[in-house]
Amino acid sequence: MKTIRSGQIAAALAVFLGLVAGSPAWAEGLPIYDDWISYHVADGLPSDKIFCVAVDGPRIWAGTDQGLAVLESGSWRTYTTSDGLAYDAVLSVAIDSASGDVWAGTMGGLTRISAGRLTTYTQFNSGLPNDVVFGVAVENQNVWVATTAGEGRYLVRENRWQVYTPENAPQHEPWGYGVDYADGKVWAALWGGGALEFDVATETWQAYMDPDGEMEIDLFRDDGIIHVITTAVSYRAGILWASTYFGLSSYDGRRWRGYMDHDSGLASNFINSVKARGRVAWVCTDKGLSVVDYASNLWVTYAPVAEPTDYKGPWAARLTKEAEVLRTVPLTQGLANNFILGVDFDGEDVWVATAAGLSRGRTTGASGAVESGR
């Protein structure tokens, strides 16, 4: 009861602060997600270490280090190796919206869940380049994987693999780390190789590397991808987002932009992954979750208030225009952890994979929004 009363007071305070700030209609800017709940082992998850999350209609899939969990009708079920999963540590999940199949990239192979049946692909029974599948994405009737021995394209209907390595794609090492597909283009994040673009229609590759060619510096701002240790890519609405452990980059086909924690609202330069919805990117860092609107360079960052690792303490949403802090909105409840690993979208809701639980965020509208005109 005491907890509820504290929460109500904090929520009222948040509303008040939002009103004081003249909260705009949230549709005009970035909404503030001020309603967070989290799931842990006590709620039915096999582990609190959540590598990835994927929304599949009414189902939420969570890849953990101890199995692939799915939330359906309010309860969790877990797939493990005893059910036929390739390996219990699940790094990536993709949903084929056409077939309903679920593809899970694990540390021991790729598993397809189709109509309740699990099929596993490994480097020994298929053309999967390597068993550690860092990323997976569905492209038309094909499935792409990012592995440490190249990018694989599984032509499902033909049961045939194509593998891309330095032999047939512009990369000096075949170290795939992430993969994404949208609008006729497959993008791959390469460890040490920047970003790769694959045009599905022409089956041609284009590489994007750090123009200064140096690991220890970023020579000029906005001259290209910030660094070649690329951790993830997301391509939506004609904009590529590429995350690195050194900052974030965007590319609209003509112009590159770089974002670091000193020149933007980014929570941290150490970015585990990025995922875009429209022209808004959700950036998963080791010190919180950042959201950026491409057009306005407005940011909302969700992070612990005191120290970056004080995730059990109070949280706040920090609203910034580039690096200028516009205001800070306290949250009644924070995310499960500051170490954010993945994100996916469920209508207007967002699901967040963290190193200590799975969180779901909603916007009540009470906390206002950060508006592009501010």
Partner 1 sequence: MRDRFRNRNIAWLMVLIVLALAANLPAAESKAAGDSLGYGNTPAALRPYARFASPYKQFFVNALEFTGPGRDKPEPEVTSVRIGVLAPLERGHEAYLGQPMLDAIRLAVDEANAAGGYRGLPFELVVRNDTGLWGASANEIVTFSYTDSVWAVLGTVDGANTHIAIRVALKTELPVINVADTDPTLVETKIPWVFRIIADDRQMAYALARHVYGERDFQRVAILRADNRYGRFGVSEFRTASVRLARPAPIEVNYEIAWAQVDPGFTVQVARLQRVAPDAIVLWADAEAAAHLLVALRTAGIEAPVFACDRLLHPQFLEQAGPAAEGVVIASPWNPAADNPHYQLFREAYLARIGTEPTTYASHAYDGARMLIDAIRAAGLNRYRIRDALAAVKRYDGVTGTIMMDLVQSDRGPVSLATVRQGSFVFGDPAIAGGF
Query: Which residue of 7, 28, 99, 221 would you call a contact of partner 1, by CB under 8 A?
Result: 221
Smallest gap, in angstroms, from Cβ of residue 95 to partner 1?
Answer: 22
Asked if 242 and 274 touch (Cβ cutoff 8 Å), the reply is yes
198 phi/psi in degrees, rounded to 5: -120, 120
368 touches partner 1 (CB under 8 A): no
Taking CB under 8 A as the binding criterion, the range among 203-211, 240-248, 325-333, 343-351 that sits at the site for partner 1 is: 240-248
* Residue 153 vs 227, nearer CB to partner 1: 227
How far, CA to CA in Å, does 260 sit from each of 88, 243, 245, 285, 354? 34, 11, 10, 12, 21
How many angstroms separate the CA atoms of 120 and 112, rounded? Answer: 6
**Identity at 108, one-letter amino acid code:** G
End-to-end CA distance of the chain: 39
Smallest gap, in angstroms, from Cβ of residue 194 to partner 1?
Answer: 14
* Residue 268 vs 297, nearer CB to partner 1: 268
Size of the site for partner 1 (CB under 8 A): 51
175 touches partner 1 (CB under 8 A): yes
Query: Which residue of 30, 91, 95, 369 would you call a contact of partner 1, by CB under 8 A?
Result: 91
148 touches partner 1 (CB under 8 A): yes
Site for partner 1 in 305-364 (CB under 8 A): 308-309, 311, 337-339, 355-356
Query: Which residue of 212, 293, 346, 349 would you call a contact of partner 1, by CB under 8 A?
Result: 212
Burial class (CB in 10 A: 0-12, 13-18, 19+), 80: middle
Nearest CA among 363, 281, 333 for reference residue 23:
363
Asked if 112 and 126 touch (Cβ cutoff 8 Å), the reply is no
Smallest gap, in angstroms, from Cβ of residue 167 to partner 1?
Answer: 11
* Residue 250 vs 337, nearer CB to partner 1: 337
39 touches partner 1 (CB under 8 A): no
Element of type H or E holding 296? none
DSSP 364: -
Which token pair is 80? 């493990």
| Residues found near partner 1 in the complex (CB under 8 A) | 51, 65, 87-89, 91, 107-108, 123, 129-132, 134, 147-149, 173-175, 177, 191-192, 212, 214-221, 227, 229, 245-247, 260, 262, 268, 270, 286-287, 308-309, 311, 337-339, 355-356
